[in-house]
Structure 1
Amino acid sequence: MKMHIKALAVAAMTAVASLAATAAPLDTLAGPLNWKVQGTTSEYSPVQYGANTPTTIKESTWGIGEVTTIVNSNGDAAWASGLGGDYLYFMLYGMADLSVVPVVSGFNIYNVGCTGGLGCDGKIHLDIYRMSSPISGILLKDPDDRTAFNAFNGLTNAAGASLYLGLELVPGKVAVDDLSTVGIDERDATLFQNANANTLPTTGAGTFFADATSGSAKAQWNSNGFALPGGLFADFDGNFTLKPNFAASGGACPTNSLPDQCFLGLINDPVQSNAIPEPGSLALFGLALAAFGVIRRRDNKK
């Protein structure tokens, strides 16, 4: 019997190794990871989709971009755009201003999900799409290519594109209410920014927490890796910088670009996360551990 158990353990470990060797690199990511993103933001989308008009969109900002690399917490590369034939692109939408407060450094901008407009559901969304081919000139895309509240022509409808991960931003970054805004509690904000101006183009930084709520990789990234106030947890801890999307700043736009010709915000910097192994890997690894446990117990009985 002992030989059968040992054979089972070996088979399980072999299966784990085989799965890791054949799975796409994206699907094998696990542990603390930092996502490097680059994208562009716009004050609003001037496109009229469906019965919507710019006056009923109700968003203050939205954008698109790409995930360029995912690295381990020690800085070692874990995945890069194109590795394994995969590319990741994102769309940020549903953002509205809760309050904009003048401060010495410029403005503190507190954002929440938009309400009252077509598609607005009170949440800020960050949808990440998996594709088998790259999108050319992502930093030069026209806002008019947006076709719906959660859709962008050439991204969400691209051949072979699928929703890899849907994120919803959650409160937790703002711990103190700003008493200068009567009737508004800044602790409700799901995105915080400090910028030198309250309209684009501007420079500054922002931060947010987010939960994995949908997409084919939801289980892989739904790790509750970051503690929030009140005993809650988030899956992602995002931090980003903001600067004009001009060539002189590392962007793609000529310095005389207009908002309807090119996005005017350039965002980057890591988004932290904790991935867990895909369910198949966990099951096989657990089987191997169980088998070794049985062997050890039998050996102890000798």
Structure 2
Amino acid sequence: MPTILLHAAAALMASLAFSGAARATPLAPFVLRTPGMVEIKYSGYLARSSDRGTSGIREASFAAGYMTSISELGNPGNRLWHSGQDNQSISFMMYGAGDAMSIAGPGTFGNQVMGTGCTNAAFGCDGKIHLDFYLDKLVGGTNPGFGFGGIKASQREGFDRLGGITDGELLMRWEFVSGLLGAAASGPDITLYQHLNGMTSPSSGYGSYLANCVSGAACQYFRSGSQQAGADFYGTTTMTQLLALSAFGQNGWVTRLSDPVIAQVALAQPSSAWLLPLGLALLSGLRRRQRPS
């Protein structure tokens, strides 16, 4: 009986974890129930930045799109979350990426373009590359598309705001961190490593990065230090340039983006200080019910 009571108390505490968020929004809470290694998939589009300042490192590009799923790593059939679950949609905006240095190389994707956070303070840059995720309704939310007549890159409202994309509840805010290149990196703090067909981004190619979850309710699920260099996430990205005359090009989006990210889910455990009084309260209630009338 005591073990059952403790399990019941633990379940009660877990259900309370998002009670504050539930009061603030009619959406069901974003929940991951299974610990272990996961793969996060999201896709979207990149645009060239409007940053034309001369102070510091300029922002080269920004991106927006939607998360599609979170699955057990190596077992995509075991989906822990997917778009549409609980009537939810998760949009994202990536911003602040500047080109720190480029090294020409042979082959289609032989050019190494190393990215860092932009530092043009007048544009809003803070020296970091950011990736923000927002939770919204799948039906009844803004959720704009990116095709002809859809959201335009010019609808950006500020350094970290894009109309229709960043209007939900902030779920996670990631910041890219160094460590992927180890001691080989030199110069500015390299946090985005890319192999591209051009000498600047956005271009076609692929890249990789490390990131930490720094704010938002969903950060509680991801274990710090689970990946290389103590980062929460290890991401890879594939970028494919679009034809300028396509619907996407007309909307200002120049590159297709897809990113699988590896992370470790570690479910937060309820505090033992709460378990004891909850368990005693449940036990007391059961004893009262068992007394003969």
Q: Secondary structure at the match of 1:218?
A: helix
Other-structure match for 1:269: 259
- For residues 256 and 132 of structure 1, the distance between their equivalents in structure 2, rounded to whole angstroms, comes to 26
The Cα RMSD (Å) is 3.0
Using the TM superposition, give the Cα deviation of residue 31 of structure 1 relative to its aligned residue in structure 2, in angstroms.
Answer: 2.1
Other-structure match for 2:158: 148
Other-structure match for 1:36: 41
Using the TM superposition, give the Cα deviation of residue 16 of structure 1 relative to its aligned residue in structure 2, in angstroms.
Answer: 4.2
Q: Is the 8 A contact 1:40 1:245 kept in 2?
A: no
Using the TM superposition, give the Cα deviation of residue 222 of structure 1 relative to its aligned residue in structure 2, in angstroms.
Answer: 4.4
Q: Secondary structure at the match of 1:269?
A: strand
**Deviation per residue, 1:91-132 (Å, 9 max, x gap):** 101111110110113310100001123311110000111112
Other-structure match for 1:136: 144
Using the TM superposition, give the Cα deviation of residue 219 of structure 1 relative to its aligned residue in structure 2, in angstroms.
Answer: 2.1
Matches within 5 A, 1:188-203: 188-199=189-200, 202-203=203-204
Other-structure match for 1:244: 241
2:25 is equivalent to residue 27 of structure 1: no
Other-structure match for 2:207: 206
**Deviation per residue, 1:125-148 (Å, 9 max, x gap):** 001111123513146531111111
Using the TM superposition, give the Cα deviation of residue 166 of structure 1 relative to its aligned residue in structure 2, in angstroms.
Answer: 0.5
Using the TM superposition, give the Cα deviation of residue 28 of structure 1 relative to its aligned residue in structure 2, in angstroms.
Answer: 2.6
5+ unaligned residues in a row in structure 2: which ranges? 19-27, 280-293
- For residues 202 and 173 of structure 2, the distance between their equivalents in structure 1, rounded to whole angstroms, comes to 27
**Deviation per residue, 1:179-230 (Å, 9 max, x gap):** xxxxxx16831000101123566321110000111112222224321131xx
Other-structure match for 2:285: none
**Residue 12 of structure 1 aligns to which amino acid in structure 2?**
L
- For residues 13 and 233 of structure 2, the distance between their equivalents in structure 1, rounded to whole angstroms, comes to 26
**Residue 162 of structure 1 aligns to which amino acid in structure 2?**
E
The verdict on how the C-alpha distance between 1:222 and 1:213 changes in structure 2, with shifts beyond 3 A counting, is: farther
**Residue 130 of structure 1 aligns to which amino acid in structure 2?**
L
- For residues 164 and 144 of structure 1, the distance between their equivalents in structure 2, rounded to whole angstroms, comes to 24
Other-structure match for 1:123: 128
- For residues 253 and 121 of structure 2, the distance between their equivalents in structure 1, rounded to whole angstroms, comes to 22
Other-structure match for 2:181: 174
- For residues 42 and 232 of structure 2, the distance between their equivalents in structure 1, rounded to whole angstroms, comes to 17
Greater Cα offset, 260-269 or 212-221: 260-269
Q: Secondary structure at the match of 1:217?
A: helix
Other-structure match for 1:113: 117
**Residue 55 of structure 1 aligns to which amino acid in structure 2?**
G
The verdict on how the C-alpha distance between 1:176 and 1:141 changes in structure 2, with shifts beyond 3 A counting, is: farther
- For residues 108 and 82 of structure 1, the distance between their equivalents in structure 2, rounded to whole angstroms, comes to 37
Q: Which of 66, 86, 98 is 1:84 aligned to?
A: 86
5+ unaligned residues in a row in structure 1: which ranges? 1-5, 46-52, 179-184, 247-252, 292-302
Greater Cα offset, 131-140 or 265-274: 131-140
- For residues 115 and 187 of structure 1, the distance between their equivalents in structure 2, rounded to whole angstroms, comes to 11
TM-score, length-normalised on structure 2? 0.76
Structure 1 vs Structure 2: percent identity of aligned residues?
27
**Residue 207 of structure 2 aligns to which amino acid in structure 1?**
G
TM-score, length-normalised on structure 1? 0.74
- For residues 21 and 151 of structure 1, the distance between their equivalents in structure 2, rounded to whole angstroms, comes to 32
